[in-house]
Amino acid sequence: MNDPAIVRSVGTMLDAHDVATVEQLVERITALLATDPERLMNILYRLDVSEDRIGEIFRRTPLDRIAAAIAQAMIERIAEKLATRQRYARSRQFDVRLRSYTPDDAEQLYDAVIESFEELSRWLAWCRKGYSLADAQAWCQWAAESFAAGEAYHFVVEALRVESIEFAGGCSLTPTTDRANNVVQLGYWTRSTLAGCGVATKAASAAVAYAFDRLAAERVEILIATGNKASQRVAEKIGAQREGVMRSRLAVGDRRHDAFVYGILRSQWIERRSGEHRAP
């Protein structure tokens, strides 16, 4: 149960992004027990580690083993949640819905980012070491205000099932600085447990429709790092055409990436949508 990716995920929740082994994780928990036990308890509750399990650890575990027992409980709980979501996502059909952010989305956003940190941080500049709940709160507030002001359109992506609604990721439409040309840039990401389930494709398609139908866009652009194959597949599935490469266009942390430029034109989108409606 000591999958390195899960260990790193726990470390990220503890603001220790360099954690790579269980031993390092135990050291971080030991430090929190000594300096900020309340924060550690809040993280355990956020992970849904039961009060009974926490109480049992503190009652029955020798003092010098408490940190290790807590680490194992956290690892097991994340593994359970990931396994359940993966089985559920791949075995059930669901629709995807876009909606604007509200301040109440901060905790769900934070959970999705922490769960997906290893993948997202490779390609998204905002997903950096030290990402916190306060960052998520600030983002949700800003995204809601920007949407209301018509400055940028950032969407929560929700997976809709018969019995539940799950925070599935994010999608954005950002008008370029030269608004006279009616060009918007599209971005999207999906939480790790729903990767490969078609969420990003459905969300990106809905966002493009919003750009053309609601924002009167004439062109939608997508900039994707040349190494980001998953996002390239999404762009191609929604009908975007690769138009060229821009050298050293994207900065993520201390690295710069060449980027492919994808584009969708209003005329192309209308033709594609008409073809789908005519299909038997």
Side chain identity at 30, as an amino acid letter?
T
Percent of residues, the chain, with pLDDT higher than 90: 61
Residue 66's SS3 state is helix
**In the chain, where does the domain assigned CATH 3.40.630.30 lie?**
92-278
Cβ-contact 194, 202 below 8 angstroms = no
Per-residue pLDDT tens digits for 252-276: 988 999 999 999 999 999 888 877 7
Cβ-contact 75, 153 below 8 angstroms = no
d(CA 33, CA 90): 38
Mean pLDDT over all residues of the chain? 89
Residues composing the chain: 280
Show the tokens assigned to 267: 């005329």
Least confident of 41-50, 103-112, 212-221: 41-50
Q: How far is CA 38 from CA 2, 74, 233, in A?
A: 25, 16, 44
Show the tokens assigned to 105: 């989305």
Per-residue pLDDT tens digits for 75-128: 888 888 777 666 655 555 678 999 999 999 999 999 999 989 988 999 999 999
Residue 178: band (very low, low, confident or very high) from pLDDT cuts 50, 70, 90: confident
Listed in sequence order, the residues at least 6 apart from 12 whose beta carbon sits closer than 8 Å to its beta carbon are: 19, 114, 117, 131
Dihedral angle, C-alpha 64, 26, 109, 121, nearest 10 °: 170
- pLDDT of 272 reads 84
Please state which CATH number belongs to domain 92-278: 3.40.630.30
pTM for this predicted structure: 0.74
